[in-house]
């Protein structure tokens, strides 16, 4: 019995000791989109950073919410000042895991449907999410594309009564990350 435990511990140590293969992007994009008959809101953030550990499936992403750009400067100002409150809550963060990572063969090109889950923090509020997306491997680049919606209420982002017709509660996020192999900075 003891030897089994020791064996397990050794494996555990080994797996920690091994340099797990990681992929990184600093220029991932998130588009946000809301359309009502009254008003269309479209914004894009091209400065999303994310790291993925292809052995464990762990994935994290982080961005400054002020990096979202809108065509109308006034919409951008309202987004930052009145809704997302980027001064108070500068970052949005995701910490989670790709659940079916062991089904993916990273050694050759291919395309997979993925399921991921984890904690998404927006506007200082954290919610557990579970969503589906697509992962493609091509010439050493991992591309992850995910579309899902978030509810403003769930993240305590207040929309005034008079604007409820103009701004949807469900905001569509379109996420596109191109990961490249990560080499630790010297």
Partner 1 sequence: MKNLYLIIALVFFSLQSYSQDDLMDILDDEVEEEIEYIIATFKSTRIINGHSIERMKKGQLDFRINHRFGQLNSGGYELWGLDNALINLSFEYGINDRIMIGFRRGTNNKVYDGSVKFSLLRQSKGKRVMPVSVSYFSDMSFKTQRGYLDLPNISDAGFDINQHRLAFTHQLLIARKFNDKLSLQLSPSFVHRNIVAPGENNDIYALGIGGRYKFIRRVAFTFEYFYTNNVTADNIYHYPLAIGFDIETGGHVFQLFVTNSRAMVEDGFLGETTGNWLDGGLYFGFNMSRVFALAGSE
Q: Strand (E) positions, 36-152?
A: 40-53, 58-64, 69-70, 91-98, 110-122, 125-138, 141-151
């207040």: which residue's tokens?
A: 158
78 contributes a contact to partner 1 by CB under 8 A: yes
Q: Smallest gap, in angstroms, from Cβ of residue 104 to partner 1?
A: 18
Torsion of CA 10, 15, 19, 24, to 10 degrees: -160
**Binding window for partner 1 (CB under 8 A); candidates: 95-103, 107-115, 120-128, 145-153:** 95-103
29 contributes a contact to partner 1 by CB under 8 A: no
174 contributes a contact to partner 1 by CB under 8 A: no
Q: Smallest gap, in angstroms, from Cβ of residue 34 to partner 1?
A: 13
Question: For residue 112, how many C-alpha atoms fall within 13 Å in the half-sphere facing its CB?
Answer: 20
| Interface with partner 1 (CB under 8 A), residue from 32, 50, 84, 92 | 50
121 contributes a contact to partner 1 by CB under 8 A: no
Distances (CA, A) of 136 to 65, 80, 127, 174: 27, 33, 27, 16
| Interface with partner 1 (CB under 8 A), residue from 77, 102, 105, 170 | 77
Helix (H) or strand (E) holding 34: strand 22-35
Write the CB contacts of 74 (distance below 8 Å, at least 6 apart in sequence): none
34 contributes a contact to partner 1 by CB under 8 A: no
Interface residues with partner 1 (CB under 8 A) are 1, 5, 8-9, 12, 16, 20, 22, 24, 26, 39, 49-53, 56, 58-62, 64, 66, 69-74, 76-78, 80-82, 87, 93, 95-97, 118, 160, 163, 166, 182, 185
């Amino acid at each position: 019995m003891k030897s089994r435990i020791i064996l397990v511990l050794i494996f555990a140590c080994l797996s920690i000791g091994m340099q797990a293969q990681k992929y990184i992007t600093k220029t991932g994009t998130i588009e946000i989109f809301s359309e009502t008959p009254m008003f269309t809101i479209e914004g894009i953030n091209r400065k999303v950073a994310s790291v993925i550990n292809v052995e464990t499936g762990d994935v994290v992403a982080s961005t400054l919410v002020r990096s979202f750009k809108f065509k109308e400067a006034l919409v951008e100002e309202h987004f930052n000042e009145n809704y997302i409150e980027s001064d108070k809550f500068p970052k949005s963060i995701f910490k989670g895991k790709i659940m079916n990572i062991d089904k993916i063969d990273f050694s050759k090109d291919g395309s997979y449907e993925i399921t991921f889950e984890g904690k998404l923090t927006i506007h200082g509020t954290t919610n557990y999410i579970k969503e589906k997306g697509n992962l493609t491997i091509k010439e050493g680049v991992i591309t992850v594309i995910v579309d899902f919606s978030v509810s403003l209420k769930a993240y305590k982002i207040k929309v005034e009564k008079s604007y409820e017709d103009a701004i949807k509660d469900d905001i569509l996020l379109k996420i596109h990350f191109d990961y490249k192999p990560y080499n630790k900075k010297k």
